[in-house]
Amino acid sequence: MTRNKLRLAIVGAGPAGIYAADILLKAERNFDVSIDLFDHLPAPYGLVRYGVAPDHPRIKGIITALREVLDRGDIRIFGNVRFGEDITLEDLKKHYNAVIFATGAVRDASLNIPGIDLEGSYGAADFVSWYDGHPDYPREWPLEAQSVGVIGNGNVALDVARMLAKHAEDLLPTEIPANVHAALAASPVTDVHVFGRRGPTSVKFTPLELRELGELRDVDMIIHDEDFDYDDAARAAVAGNKQVFVIDKVLQQWRQRETGQASRRLHLHFFAKPLEVVSDGDGRVAALRYERTAPDGEGGVVGTGEIREIPMQAIYRAVGYHGSPLKGIPFDKKFGVIPNHEGQVLMRDKETGQSRQMYGVYATGWIKRGPVGLIGHTKSDAMETIKHLINDLGNWWRPESPSEESVIEMLEGRGIRWTDLDGWHRLDEHEQALGAAEERKRIKVVPRDEMVAISRGEV
Ligand SMILES: Cc1cc2nc3c(=O)[nH]c(=O)nc-3n(C[C@H](O)[C@H](O)[C@H](O)COP(=O)(O)OP(=O)(O)OC[C@H]3O[C@@H](n4cnc5c(N)ncnc54)[C@H](O)[C@@H]3O)c2cc1C
């Protein structure tokens, strides 16, 4: 008897997509599997390559584990192929039994305060994409401000603040692109101000990220005694939560530190609710106006009515990421995710108006769950999605052209300059060779055309 075969498309070669492929291939099942992984970038690994900060080599090292999965050779990669433009849902239905969307989230969530659109006001995601050498972002970044603000109290806010405050020569051993290093080296920044609405015991960043700030060479950490007048809820959080305990300990140590010698300062402002980005009259950022908040006794905060202002010439909002809609796939605009039940995509039934499963379509990672959590969380996420995919065998699509060759014919027929795993190896080696010439581990190739040409062995 011939066994069933699952031809699976996964859209998104970030950690979520790669883990999903790996988990399915290793899962107990009574059918064969053949997986094609599509990504609109010519390089895999998603935000591990284009989000994780370059001075976090330990986290970037997760790429080694993801690479081992790809190098096993049982997953085909089609890079430089964008779902919604180069391929559609109809195409996938024609060639596969099912699709998993693992397209993550790359846009900045919005922050609706007056002045947020002034010149000099940026989204953290755009800045991150620039310093991580994302091919679809401008290569120039205006770093002209002496005083800069960062709104947010999560790990991305701290990444942005650290990258702005760190001396460029200390980033040289990392994989930052040459243009990024040159721009940071010329930055006149002296003060970076980080603003959080709540107190030190309610932050979203992790102790490791915080501690790193205190290790920056020639950068003073400036914190304010007025932020440490804890109420009962804050004291309970310190006593009852290990993470909060460590964060508090780090901050308390910094309170005792001598400051005044460093050429740069990184200020942490807690209980500071941004109200307005103030204009200089010519449409440029001149200051951040914020309201001092106070604990409300229940773990939250309330405004005190006390308004303060700090002059600055640039501001970055790091208030979260947001997923993007995909053509033909349901999308929850509010949360920026594909609506789903444990990874099974849900659609609205036209007749009944009720929500029901969209057969053959699954989601995993940040586009399934929203942009929270670390890389490791995408693994448990993928397990849940794969469990349903396996159990749904009876509801898979029945493609008319399921052969592996037919997909290549389709891409070739459309003139798409797709890249494959060998191509990624070529690009990877090329980047490492560029790095070796300057005694660095890697120098990223940034322009998309160049990435594709190197991958396809055309240069
Ligand atoms: C700035 C920043 C720093 C971070 N630092 C850390 C850290 O230090 N440690 C940690 O554990 N986690 C960190 N994270 C979190 C981590 O990056 C995420 O948990 C993880 O990347 C989410 O994986 P994902 O696969 O769902 O999405 P992604 O990593 O975003 O991958 C999605 C993939 O889908 C592709 N794609 C999107 N749209 C399409 C389309 N239409 N067609 C084809 N392909 C498409 C993208 O090109 C991308 O390759 C960080 C996140 C950010 C934003």
CATH number of the domain bearing residue 258: 3.50.50.60
Does 410 fall in a domain? Answer: yes
378 CB within 6 A, ligand 1 = yes
The protein residue with its alpha carbon nearest to ligand 1, atom 20, reads 375
Q: What pLDDT is stored for residue 57 in this prediction?
A: 85
Measuring CA to CA, which residue among 213, 209, 52 is closest to residue 131?
52
Residue 348 pairs in a beta bridge with 355
Q: What pLDDT is stored for residue 112 in this prediction?
A: 95
pTM for the full model? 0.94
Which strand (E) or helix (H) includes residue 67?
helix 62-71
154 CB within 6 A, ligand 1 = no
| Mean predicted confidence (pLDDT) in 405-424 | 97
Atom of ligand 1 nearest to the CA of 104: 27
Judgement on whether residues 245 and 147 belong to the same structural domain of the protein: yes
Judgement on whether residues 14 and 71 belong to the same structural domain of the protein: yes
Cα-to-chain-centroid distance, residue 281: 34
**Residue where a domain terminates, one of 320, 347, 371:** 320
CATH number of the domain bearing residue 329: 3.40.50.720
Does 443 fall in a domain? Answer: no
Q: List, for residues 323-335, the tens digit of each pLDDT value.
A: 999 999 999 999 9
Q: List, for residues 145-195, the tens digit of each pLDDT value.
A: 999 999 999 999 999 999 999 999 999 888 888 899 999 999 999 999 999
The DSSP result for 97-158, as a single string, is SEEEE-----EEPP---TTTTSBTEEEHHHHHHHHTT-TTS-S------SEEEEE--SHHHH
Judgement on whether residues 310 and 224 belong to the same structural domain of the protein: yes
How far, in Å, CA of 385 to CA of 27, rounded?
12
Judgement on whether residues 47 and 140 belong to the same structural domain of the protein: no
User: What percent of the chain clears pLDDT 70, i.e. is strictly above it?
Assistant: 100
Given a cut of 80, is residue 437 above it in pLDDT? Answer: yes
Does 26 fall in a domain? Answer: yes
The DSSP result for 388-440, as a single string, is HHHHTGGGS---S---HHHHHHHHHHTT---B-HHHHHHHHHHHHHHHHTTTS
**299: confidence class by pLDDT, cuts 50, 70, 90:** confident
Most informative mutation of 23, 40, 41, 47 for ligand 1 (most atoms within 8 A of CB): 47
**2: confidence class by pLDDT, cuts 50, 70, 90:** low
Q: Kindly give the distance from the C-alpha atom of residue 305 to the centroid of ligand 1, in angstroms, as a whole number.
A: 39
Atom of ligand 1 nearest to the CA of 18: 25
Judgement on whether residues 114 and 100 belong to the same structural domain of the protein: no
Given a cut of 90, is residue 387 above it in pLDDT? Answer: yes
Does 431 fall in a domain? Answer: no
The protein residue with its alpha carbon nearest to ligand 1, atom 39, reads 103
Q: What pLDDT is stored for residue 162 in this prediction?
A: 98
- 181 with 174: CB under 8 angstroms? no
Write out the residue range of the structural domain in which residue 143 sits.
109-320
Q: How many domains does the chain contain in total?
A: 2
- 214 with 250: CB under 8 angstroms? yes
Mean residue pLDDT across the chain: 95
Q: Kindly give the distance from the C-alpha atom of residue 226 to the centroid of ligand 1, in angstroms, as a whole number.
A: 37
Q: What pLDDT is stored for residue 454 in this prediction?
A: 98
Given a cut of 70, is residue 113 above it in pLDDT? Answer: yes
Question: Angle between the 62-71 and 421-436 helix axes, to the nearest 10 degrees?
Answer: 140
Q: Kindly give the distance from the C-alpha atom of residue 379 to the centroid of ligand 1, in angstroms, as a whole number.
A: 13
- 122 with 165: CB under 8 angstroms? no
**131: confidence class by pLDDT, cuts 50, 70, 90:** very high
Judgement on whether residues 282 and 341 belong to the same structural domain of the protein: no
Judgement on whether residues 242 and 332 belong to the same structural domain of the protein: no
The protein residue with its alpha carbon nearest to ligand 1, atom 2, reads 51
Judgement on whether residues 352 and 289 belong to the same structural domain of the protein: no
